Structure 1
């Protein structure tokens, strides 16, 4: 059973992201059928998100590179949990998720999705 505290935190995160964020998409690309083949199928999901550049202090040149974005994604109304391999469209650019944290403090309720994303190219 979800903890009421985390449900309230989720609602607070949703309000802040809606107020200061923007509309974007999280696109999941499914693999082709292993037997019949075919092309990968991209499935876009509408999301509300806040892309933020990492500070110079956070950029270490190995795990966090210059140009990486930290993207906060509202979990409310999002049909999937963003994961490595998904592509986020924000600020008119595509970013591949390379690391993420669903922030499920009770193991059930995703308060907010925080991902590290790198320019797709």
Structure 2
């Protein structure tokens, strides 16, 4: 077992213990030729939403109300990315920035995303 898989397991245990169950929803746009409706696909996830400390809020990149959301990569079928929506604390947060934390280039230890209240 590699070091990064062990770190992934540790992160997952901590998120499950101290976090909550949420949903990462990916909206797939309609086919550009055939048209149709966008398809919304929910993916259950273990996550921990945390408010940014005041010293990081600059009003441009990080705004008041933005959340730093740690999402366990274990069992998650997708890699959360800009455009996805995370449901946490009864609120929907649009992902505006993210870091997959793939230190070895392969294993996502934990996904850390910046969520902004979805309009």
Q: What TM-score, normalized by structure 2, do the two folds share? A: 0.98
Task: Select 1:11's aligned residue among 9, 24, 30.
Answer: 9
Point out where structure 2 has 5 or more consecutive residues left out of the alignment: none
1:17 deviates by 0.1
Point out where structure 1 has 5 or more consecutive residues left out of the alignment: none
Aligned equivalents of 2:59, 2:31: Cα separation in 1:
37
Aligned equivalents of 2:68, 2:35: Cα separation in 1:
35
1:38 deviates by 1.1
Matched, 1:44 2:42: yes
Matches within 5 A, 1:95-114: 95-114=93-112
CA RMSD of aligned residues (A): 0.8
Runs of 4 or more above 3 Å deviation: none
Match for residue 79 of structure 2?
Answer: 81
What are the Cα deviations for residues 35-93 of structure 1, in whole angstroms up to 9, with x where unaligned?
A: 11111100000000000000111101110000000000000000000000000000001
Aligned equivalents of 1:66, 1:103: Cα separation in 2:
24
Q: How many residues align?
A: 119
Aligned equivalents of 2:59, 2:91: Cα separation in 1:
22
Match for residue 64 of structure 1?
Answer: 62
Q: What TM-score, normalized by structure 1, do the two folds share? A: 0.97
Q: Secondary structure at the match of 1:57?
A: helix
Q: Secondary structure at the match of 1:13?
A: helix
